[in-house]
Structures are given as structure tokens and as C-alpha cells.
Amino acid sequence: MRTASLLYAAGLLVTAVTADFDGNLNYASPSRRHARLGINVPLVKRRSTKRGTIPIAPAQLKFTHGVASGDPWPESVILWTRIAPSSKSDESTKVVDGTAPLYNHETERYIKADPNPICLEWNVYDSKPTRLKERSVANGRAYTTSDIDYTVKVEAKGLKPLTTYYYRFEVCDSDNKSPLGRTKTAPKADDDVSDLSFAVFSCSNYRYFNVYGNAARKDEHDYVIHLGDYIYETGRDGERATKPATTIFTLHDYRTRHGQYRSDPDLQLLSQNSPWIATWDDHEFADNGYRDGFSGMNNTEESFLNDGPRVSVDTRKVNAVRAYFEWMPIRQTDLDDGLRVWRSFQMGKLLDLIILDTRNYDRSITSLGK
């Protein structure tokens, strides 16, 4: 047993040296125009090859939040999962743990990021795979680390338009597999499509997600559209036991809240069996958000000191966008755009689906009442 463990550790060390993080879209910036919002991949690579790291065995890893797919194009689709030793979000983004006075660095406790990359293989099938038939039509390998909260997002390419596919992730060189997901590509722009069915949702405050489960079990739609308020940023309210318990501001906060929502079995089921097309509204950030702030918070020193845990509006928005990008099966936006989520999908000759952002991209003012 010790020999096998040593061989596995040696194998993972080689993996760490050769790990290519480009296959996981979550290391990139949510916007191609803002590359600095991406993860410092050279730093991740250097850290993962340091001596003394203890590899995580496949048996210790879990697909903590199921699988999902989204942003379907005629020849590709985004696939998502999370593989980690725990369902809890990584705490290294907290940086400071405790209640140290502002600008006091003497009592700060820094939490180191886990240096170990986790390797996943993914496969796409044109029919349900069985033990006798598991030939994939698209496949690849991706790595993840604590830097992106152990999330994995890949683009499966070379697919056929308006076609149902099945997909699955598995830990490299092991039998540890994710649930089997199902997705569907979009039709080509010039396809004569007679009808398509969409399941449409919005304003989904945790925890009663029966409607997700009903749609998943009826299974009468082609695609899921979420119009925004996929999560709510507010803290515990009556019977809503949120994680974290308070209003969210930091990257760790937003990641934790996304993780709590995606732990719901009905949301997992709908995500597992349908491709999603999603946009945000205000509560993915904060109530009554607009281009320059929120109704209860703005970019002034007074607001910085009094309206939250010493987090600026801009930093809070970046935290929200980074977590949304990591936890949702969504693509990067176009090259020449700023921080935005609005985009369009041409569903054959039947319709043009335009996904809007009416809040954060360019709304100059909103209701400012607290």
C-alpha cells in the first residue's frame, strides 16, 4: 500500500510540473478587455511545483456541486463542475482572518492557498454512455486549484448544431466520476427551426427551489434562461439560513453564497440536464445596483468606512463578477467590451435571443433609498 501511495504521489508531482491551466476557462478574466481580473497562472504553476506538497488522493475528492452546462453555440457549449476535498469554499481569499483594526497589520493571519492542482478529464457523448459504449465525440483535460475555488469550466468544441449530448468529468487516472450531464447545442443561424422551448426563471431566493425541480422532472424544454437575481446578497432573514449568515461583500462571501445555492438538489438536477443561458440583475452584487454603486453604498470614503466591512463599491463588484464567472457556465464576453454580461444567441431563423444587462453595465442612476 505504501508503494502504491508513493507511486501515486510521484505521478501527481509529474502532473503538477506539466499541468496546463489554459484548458480551464475560470483562470481567465471574465472580460477579455480586463486581463488583470484573471488569475496569475505563472504564480499558480510555480507554487504547484514546490517541494513538500502533499498530493490529494482521488478518493478524497468530491464533485461537490454536480455538473452544469451553458451558453450553447451551434458547434460548442460550456461545461462546468467543481471538484474539491470539501464543499466549503477555499479560505485563502480571506487574506485577513479576524477583526483587526483598519490598517493594523500586527494581528492579521494570512491563509495560504492550497498548492496542489487537481486534474480532471472530460468527455462528451452523442448518446448515453454504457460499459459497452463509451466512445466520446469530444474530450479534454483541465486542472483546477484553490485559486478558483476548485471550479472547472471548459468549452466542448466540434459538436453538431441543435443536438443533444451527454457529458461527464472524472478525476485523472481514477474511477472517481461526476454525475452524467445532458446538454444541447444551439441551431445554426440559417437553420429552419419550427419551435424551441425555454424554461424561464428569475428572482430565485434560497431555499425553496421546487420550481427548478418541477421543470427538470417535466423535461419539456430545450434550454433554461435565467433573467437575473440568481442569488441574493442579503444575510439571514427569518427562516432563510444563508451562508455566510451576513450580507456578502468579499470574494469568499460571494463564492460561499454561490456554493450554498448550487448545493440545492433541485437546482443541481436542472443544471445537470439542461443548458443554461443566464444574466445578472442587481442581487448578484447588491440591492439596487447601478453603474457607479448601490442604493446603500457608494464610492466615497464615508461609505467605505460606514456601509460595510471596509470594502469599496468597485472591489465588491469585482468580487461578485469573479465569483459569478467561476460558478456559472458562462463564456467570456467579447474582446472590445468592458465588464459586461449582455450578449446574444441566434436560434436559427426562429429568433434572436438577446440577453440584457439593465443594471450594472450603464445604468447611470437608480433608486437610492436604503
Closest of 257, 275, 274 to residue 204, by C-alpha = 257
Q: What are the grid coordinates assigned to 220, written together?
A: 419539456
Residue 370 reports pLDDT greater than 70: no
Residue 167 reports pLDDT greater than 90: yes
Q: pLDDT confidence of 303, banded at 50, 70, 90? A: confident
Q: What would the pLDDT profile of 175-197 be if each residue is shown by its tens digit?
A: 999 999 999 999 999 999 999 99
Give the residue carrying C-alpha cell 441566434: 346
Residue 99 reports pLDDT greater than 50: no
Q: Which pLDDT belongs to residue 96? A: 46
Phi, psi of 323 (to 5 degrees): -65, -40
Omega within 30 of 0 (cis) for the link into 117 = no
Rounded alpha-carbon distances, angstroms, from residue 57 to 9, 81, 85, 143, 256 = 8, 18, 9, 15, 24
Q: Which pLDDT belongs to residue 106? A: 52
Q: How far apart are CA 232 and CA 149, in angstroms?
A: 20
- Count of CB atoms within 10 A of residue 178's CB? 22
8 A C-beta contact, residue 128 and residue 180: yes
Give the residue carrying C-alpha cell 480532471: 120
Q: Is the pTM of this model over 0.85?
A: yes
Q: pLDDT confidence of 220, banded at 50, 70, 90? A: very high
Q: What would the pLDDT profile of 305-321 be if each residue is shown by its tens digit?
A: 888 888 888 889 889 99
Please give the torsion angle defined by the CA atoms of residues 50, 51, 52 and 58, in that order, rounded to the nearest 10 degrees.
70
Q: Which pLDDT belongs to residue 133? A: 67
Phi, psi of 220 (to 5 degrees): -115, 10
Residue 357 reports pLDDT greater than 50: yes
Q: What would the pLDDT profile of 247-263 be if each residue is shown by its tens digit?
A: 999 999 999 999 999 99
Q: Which residues contact 344 (CB under 8 A, 6 or more apart)?
A: 352, 353, 354, 355
Residue 272 reports pLDDT greater than 90: yes
Pairwise pLDDT comparison (76 vs 131), residue with the higher score:
76
Residue 367 reports pLDDT greater than 90: no
Q: What would the pLDDT profile of 13-67 be if each residue is shown by its tens digit?
A: 445 556 789 899 999 998 877 888 899 999 888 888 877 667 788 999 999 999 9
Q: pLDDT confidence of 368, banded at 50, 70, 90? A: low
Q: pLDDT confidence of 336, banded at 50, 70, 90? A: low
Q: pLDDT confidence of 109, banded at 50, 70, 90? A: low
